[in-house]
Structure 1
Amino acid sequence: MQQEAAPAYDIKGRTMSLEEWDLKIQTENPVDFTSLAFHGCDISRYYEAQGLVGYFNLLNGPTYQTLVRPFWLRESIYDREAAKLEETEKVLLHSELEGKSREEMGLEPFESIEIRSSIMGIHVHISEEIISFVLRRTAEGTYKAGIKNVKTNPWNEIIHQTIFNSKEKGVYADLSMEKKMMLKIQNENLLPKGGGSDQPSLEHKIFLHLFIKGEKANVPRYIFRHMIHQLRESQLKNRCWIPYGRLISEILHQGGILNALSNMNFFTYEQLGTKTGKIINGETLKNMRLISKESYKKLDTNMKESDAVSAIMKDFPPICKQDPLEVQMNFIKDHFATIGTKINLEDVPETMYEGA
C-alpha cells in the first residue's frame, strides 16, 4: 500500500457511470478446513502447497462496504498507456520537455501496472507487489493468460485429465467432492465470479489444474489481473460486481487508510458497513448435497463468523447512503462543527425518510 506525500488530499473523479448503490460487493467466504476434513473433504494440503495459509486466515475478517464502494467507483488503471499519456500531457503544457526522460519531466519512473484510486482524498494504489505482501506469498509460479484458439488448445486435454480423469470434457456432475469444493473456493475466494457465467474459462480451469497438481501458481498475479479485468468490466460494461471485498478492505487497513480516516473523526471501526463472508464448512457440503443430512455434525471447533451490528438513528438529518460518500462525510463534519453532535456513519439511513 502506498500513500503519496503530495498531493496529500485529492478527490478522484468517478471512472464509471454506475452509482455507489448499484455496486454489489462480493465478500470472500472463510474456509473451515477442519470441518471439511471431518466430513470427508480434506483439501487443505492443496492450499498449503500454494503458500496460501495466511490468505485464508485473513478471510474471516471484515469487509468495509462503506469504503470499498467509493474506492471501486473511482479506480483507474495506471499502465504503460496511461504513463505515455501522462508524458504527452506534460509536453503539451511545457513544449521544452519534448524528448526528455520521465525523471526530467518531474514524473516518477513507470515500474509496474497499478490500480489507483482515492478515499476521501487519500491516495490508494494496488499492485501485484502489494497483493503479494498482503497474501504473504511471493509473486512467483505459473501464470497463463491471453490463451488463443481455446477450443483446439492442447491445454484442454491436460486439464480434462486432471479435473475429470478423462481426455474428454466432462460435466460438473462428474467432479469428485474435493474438486467440486475446490471449484467453489476458487469461484468465491481466488477468482471471484460474481454474477458471471457458471462455466469457467480455460484460463480458470488451468488455475484449478495447477492447484490439483501441486504446481505453484502465481496467485498474486492471477488475483491482480482478475481485479483489473473486473474493473474494466465495470467501466466499459457497467458490471456491478466488486470482487475481493475482504482483500481490498485488508489492503486499506494495512495501508493505514482506516487509521488516517479515523483520525479525521469521520468514523470509528464499527461504522464502516462491516460485513463478513459466510463460512464454508461441513454444512456447506450438506447444502451442496455432497454429504447426507445425517452425516453432518456441528463441531465444537467450528469457525465462528464475525458479527456486524448497525442501527438507525431517529430524526436523522437529510442525507442517506445513496448520497456519495464525500457528501455524507462533509455533512457529518459540518454538523459536528456547527452543532457539536457527532453523527455515526453507520446510522445514516439507506434511503431518505418516507422514500424521498
Structure 2
Amino acid sequence: MASSSTQPSTQNPLNLLDLPPIATIYKSLIVMEDTYVFNIGLLKLRPERMVDFESLKINGFDFEEMFTAQGWNKYFDMLNGPIYTRMVKEFWMKAHVFDKVSARMEEEKAIKENPSLAGKTRAEMGLCDFNETVVKFVLAGIEITISRAHIAKLLGIRDAGKRIADYKNEVYYRQSIKKELYEDESLAGKSKFMKDFYVVLFKVLINNIIPRGG
C-alpha cells in the first residue's frame, strides 16, 4: 500500500510572531512628514538600564520572582542587547497613536472627499480594518503598525492584564498597599519614605518599565 506523507508546516519567515504583519508594503513608498515639529538632533535617549538580579539578591533585595511571575524575564534579557539610537529617534519623530478617534477622522475625511462612501464599511471605503488602538509610523517609506499583541508576543507574555485606573477609587487596596510600602503611613506619597526594599524596586521600575521622563 502506498504511503502518503504531509509536508511539515513551516513558519512564515516574514511573520515570525504569527500575528498580523507589522510592516505594510504598498505599491509605492510612503512619504510622511514628522509628527512632531522638533529638531531630531536635540532628542536625548534615555536607555533602559541592565538589572543584575543576582547582585541585588546578595544585597538583600530579592524581587526577581515578582517579575518572573508576570513573565518579564525575556524583557530584562533584552536589556543586554543593542540599541539602534537613530531608528529610535526616527520612531519618536514620526510615531502616532491610531485609536477610535483617529479611525473616525479617517472615515470622515474619506467621505468628505467622496460623499458616495457614506454608510460604507471601512473595507468598502478602501481603508484598513480597525480592531484596536495601535502605534503607527513610517520607516524608510514602509508603514509600520505595532499593536499590544505584537509587544506581548515579543516579550513572551500573555496579552492580558488589568487597568490600574480601575482601582484608583478602591480605598481597600490603597490602604493595603500603603501598609506594605511604608513603615509610617502618614509619609505615603513620597518614594524616599518607602521601605528600602521598595525604594530599590521603584528605581528598577522607573528606569526600565515606567520611565518618568523622556
Which TM class, normalised by the smaller chain length? 0.7 to 0.9
In structure 2, C-alpha distance between the alignment counterparts of 1:122 and 1:5, rounded to whole Å: 6
Higher relative contact order structure (alpha carbons within 8 Å, sequence separation ≥ 6): 1
- 1:162 aligns to what? 180
- 1:222 aligns to what? none
- 1:176 aligns to what? 195
Residues 235-266 of structure 1: CA deviation (Å, up to 9, x unaligned): xxxxxx2xxxxxxxxxxxxxxxxxxxxxxxxx
- 1:130 aligns to what? 150
SS of the aligned residue for 2:97 comes to strand
| Count of residues in correspondence between the two structures | 192
SS of the aligned residue for 1:17 comes to coil
Question: For residues 172 and 109 of structure 1, do their structure 2 counterparts lie closer, same or farther at Cα, with a shift above 3 Å needed?
Answer: closer
The one-letter code sitting in structure 2 at the alignment partner of 1:189 is N
Residues 22-63 of structure 1: CA deviation (Å, up to 9, x unaligned): 212111111111111122221111111111111111111111
The one-letter code sitting in structure 1 at the alignment partner of 2:204 is I
For residue 96 of structure 1, the aligned residue among 116, 119, 127 is 116
SS of the aligned residue for 2:138 comes to strand
TM-score by length of 2: 0.81
Asked if the contact 1:80–1:113 (Cα under 8 Å) also holds between the matched residues in 2, the reply is yes
Gaps of 5+ in 1: 195-240, 242-356
Asked if the contact 1:11–1:119 (Cα under 8 Å) also holds between the matched residues in 2, the reply is no
After TM superposition, give the deviation of residue 106 of structure 1 in Å: 1.6
After TM superposition, give the deviation of residue 146 of structure 1 in Å: 7.2
SS of the aligned residue for 2:55 comes to helix
Asked if the contact 1:158–1:167 (Cα under 8 Å) also holds between the matched residues in 2, the reply is no
Supply the RMSD in Å over aligned alpha carbons: 2.1
After TM superposition, give the deviation of residue 145 of structure 1 in Å: 2.5
- 2:76 aligns to what? 56
After TM superposition, give the deviation of residue 75 of structure 1 in Å: 1.1
After TM superposition, give the deviation of residue 167 of structure 1 in Å: 4.6
Are 1:9 and 2:48 counterparts? no
After TM superposition, give the deviation of residue 147 of structure 1 in Å: 7.1
TM-score by length of 1: 0.50
- 1:348 aligns to what? none
The one-letter code sitting in structure 1 at the alignment partner of 2:176 is I
Gaps of 5+ in 2: 1-20
Residues 260-314 of structure 1: CA deviation (Å, up to 9, x unaligned): xxxxxxxxxxxxxxxxxxxxxxxxxxxxxxxxxxxxxxxxxxxxxxxxxxxxxxx
- 1:262 aligns to what? none
- 2:209 aligns to what? 190
In structure 2, C-alpha distance between the alignment counterparts of 1:5 and 1:75, rounded to whole Å: 17
In structure 1, C-alpha distance between the alignment counterparts of 2:65 and 2:183, rounded to whole Å: 20
Asked if the contact 1:160–1:168 (Cα under 8 Å) also holds between the matched residues in 2, the reply is no
Q: Percent identity?
A: 27
Asked if the contact 1:187–1:193 (Cα under 8 Å) also holds between the matched residues in 2, the reply is yes
Residues 84-117 of structure 1: CA deviation (Å, up to 9, x unaligned): 1111111122211111111211212211111111
For residue 142 of structure 1, the aligned residue among 140, 162, 175 is 162
